[in-house]
Structure 1
Amino acid sequence: MNLKIKPDEFSELLSRLNKVWRVYAPSAEYRGGRFSDTDNVIYQPVSAWSDIVWQEKSHMSPNTVITPITETLFYFDKETIQIAEVDTTPMLIFARACDINAMSRLDYMYLQNGGNADYSYQLLRDKIRFVLIECEESFDNCFCVSMGSNRTEAWSAAVRFSDEGAKVCVKASELLPFFANLGEACDYTPGFVEQNKEQVRTPDSVCDDPQKIRDILTHHPLWQAYDSRCISCGRCTTGCPTCTCYSLFDVAYEENPQRGERRRQWASCLIPGFSDMAGGHGFRPQPGNRLRYRALHKVNDYKARAGTQHMCVGCGRCDDRCPQYIKFSLIINKMTDAVEQALAQEANL
């Protein structure tokens, strides 16, 4: 079903949906942005047309509402443990193609990696549906086309926003009743970005051996430049829709230290100390080492392990958020050039 809906009708649609679903979309957090007097576009519950920010890329990904920044896993009391309840109310998330594609990466990490499924994520995953926000053109720093994540069919409905309202394509029958008596029929087929200003070549385009790529890049001098540039703030990872690193810690209640809760909280492989072991040994003491670890994971190691696509979906949020203006797309191209050069030198020996 294809409909053209006016803004006031869209607000009515959201009102109906909110009776059954938890509806999330990019929305402005007033004056919460990175610079003075700017808003932060994050994923929040929406209930009206005016709540949704569709004109620009969200600063944070839907990951923030799927796997919260801080989450209680269980409560403890001496010898007893009580698993924390998970809100399994169905979720309807408005997201762009790259973020919808990112879900397959999260699914692998939380449900298949290591042969164990994450309890909280598994309970919620089957309750999540997506409404595709059409990108009429590429945003700054996006390179989704190069990463093959500019298209997706994993949506229940698709929407093209404009100042006059929205064109909607409804694919899932479970959503059809919410559109009763709204809008007028129209012709609409969701479109996808076919070209980005930023273009990348991943290392596997010049070498099909992940171990060979790793051997060439592990001690390559290209990472030394980032020892002084990268300040290890971790902002690239907090904006990433596919990062899944977290730390675990226990919180004991002051009134009774034998009672408390275990929480997990987002962490970053770019932060000093993330890979430290008991006894104080650290594997990656320099910022360049940590950036290398993240880059290889995103465009080599994950694909080698999962056997599917690269972890990076090319959303460009890491480039958007970096206070040092480090471009991850440029890093990927540098990695590929380094592998290509090493292979050429090897062939000439």
Structure 2
Amino acid sequence: MTKSYALTVAEMDTLFEALSEKYAIYAPTRLHNGGRYALDDTILYKEVTKYEEIEWQQRSIFSMKEVLTPLSQTLFYFTEEDFKEAKLKDERELLIFGRACDLNSVKIQDQIFLENGGEQDYFYKRLREKAHFAVMQCDDQYDGCFCCSLGTNVTDIHDFGVAFSEVGAKIQLNSELFEGYFSDAQETLFEVSFPQENQLKVAFPQIESQEEYQRLRVHPMWEEYDKRCIACGKCTIACNTCTCFTTTDIFYSENQNVGERRRGCASCMIAGFDTMAGDHCFRKTVKDRYRFKILHKVYGHDARFHTGAMCTGCGRCDADCPELISYSQTLANINAALIEIRQEIKEGVPFHV
């Protein structure tokens, strides 16, 4: 089913009030200050109760992955004899607003948490099963986004139950799940549109063999990032497909035998993330960590799932980097390096790992 409606702002608020009884509604919102620079605003996901609370003009700095994988969440509580699973604080279903690139990122999150091996991540799954999605129509370009280059500028009609346009508060309804909320609404002609072209165009690298991959790992192009990157991890926190986390046991001061285990967002860019027992560390330098992050998105994820890049071209990493390091330029550098590497292979230049 596909129907379309036009609502006034007052009708939208009435709709949100009705939806909020069953759904916790999450959308990008504007908070004053706290942005990239001192006086910049922050755009991040929060629960909303009114349509006008949604930020349409600017892309959120943080992605909607925080709704399904919170920055910090308690997994279970424990004593010296027993443990108890942490309950959800809100039993309502979730209605999450996002753009096409954001909805496409959920498919990657699903692969990592639900399809990566024989076990599914229980804490992700219980939130994911509650999640429904509302598409936010993109009417403007955003600096650094290149979703059209990756085909993530569109999302299938079955991936979302409802779509919203800021202009005129027009709604496209795709799911019977929400049909009852529009019984008195005025029907109109509206079909959500998706970006057809980005100002920034990126040729995403295609690594065609293990030899190309191994030669690329030791290519001198990575030296630049030892000098520029400060390894703050902001790019991975902002990224809508990064999934690294760590767990910490918190012992209560009143009773050292009682506490809770929390899962928190982590980053492969932070020193010590890969440190093992005996203080063995795989990636000691910033360039090593940056290379690992980039090659996992370009090559590693696809080698595991065979579904393409671990990227949706949202541009958040560029927008949030304090050192103005361009991810799209890094991809261009990889393409240039691959031209050199393929010429070396053609000429039979020896290489040893």
Tell me the alpha carbon deviations over residues 83-103 of structure 1, each in whole angstroms, 9 at most, x when there is no partner: 111344210011000000000
Deviation at 1:179, TM superposition (A): 2.0
Per-residue deviation, 1:277: 1.3
Q: How does 1:14-163 map to 2 (within 5 A)?
A: 14-86=16-88, 87-153=90-156, 154-162=159-167
Task: Tell me the amino acid that sits aligned with residue 141 of structure 1.
Answer: G
**Residue 113 of structure 1, CA deviation:** 1.2
Query: Partner of 2:187 in structure 1?
Result: 185
Task: Identify the residue that residue 13 of structure 1 maps to in structure 2.
Answer: 15
Is 2:27–2:98's contact at 8 Å kept on the other side of the alignment? yes
> Does 29-38 or 250-259 show the bigger shift?
29-38
Aligned residues: 343
1:23–1:46: 8 Å Cα contact kept in structure 2?
yes
Contact map agreement 2:212 2:342 (CA 8 A) in 1: no
Separation (CA, whole Å) in 2 of partners of 1:257 and 1:131: 45
Judged with a 3 Å threshold, the aligned counterparts in structure 2 of structure 1 residues 116 and 133 are, in CA distance, closer, same or farther, namely same
Contact 1:70 1:265 (C-alpha < 8 Å) held by counterparts: yes
- Identity across aligned pairs (percent)? 37
Deviation above 6 Å: which 4+ runs of structure 1? none
C-alpha distance in 2 between matches for 1:160 and 1:113:
35
Uncovered stretches (5+) of structure 1, i.e. residues with no partner: none
Measured after TM superposition, the shift of residue 281 of structure 1 is 1.8
Report the Cα distance in structure 2 between the residues aligned to 1:6 and 1:213, rounded to whole angstroms.
56
CA–CA separation in structure 2 for the residues paired with 1:198 and 1:289 = 27
Match of 1:249 in 2: 248
* Alpha-carbon offset, residue 30 of structure 1: 2.8
Cα distance between partner residues in 1 of 2:260 and 2:212: 42
Instruction: Provide, for residues 13-63 of structure 1, a one-character-per-residue CA deviation record: whole Å limited to 9, x for no partner.
Output: 111110110101111123232323332111111111221101111111111
Change (3 A) 1:212 1:88: farther
CA distance in 2, matches of 1:100, 1:301: 21
Q: CA deviation at 1:348?
A: 3.4
Rounded to whole Å, the distance in 1 between the matches of 2:197 and 2:303 is 27
Q: Which shows bigger deviation, 79-88 or 13-22?
A: 79-88
Cα pair 1:88 1:124 within 8 Å, conserved: no
SS at match of 1:258: coil
Moved more, 82-91 or 101-110: 82-91
Question: TM-score, normalised on structure 2?
Answer: 0.94
Matches of 1:202 and 1:339, distance apart in 2:
12
> Which residue type is aligned with residue 108 of structure 2?
R
Shift in Å at residue 67 of structure 1?
0.8
Worse overlay, 84-93 or 241-250? 84-93
**TM-score of the superposed pair, with normalisation by structure 1:** 0.95
In 2, Cα distance between the equivalents of 1:92 and 1:66?
11
2:328 matches 1:329: yes
Measure, in 2, the Cα distance between the counterparts of 1:313 and 1:212: 26
Q: State the secondary structure of the residue aligned to 2:170.
A: strand
| CA–CA separation in structure 2 for the residues paired with 1:166 and 1:208 | 46
Q: Distance in 2 between matches of 1:48 and 1:7?
A: 9
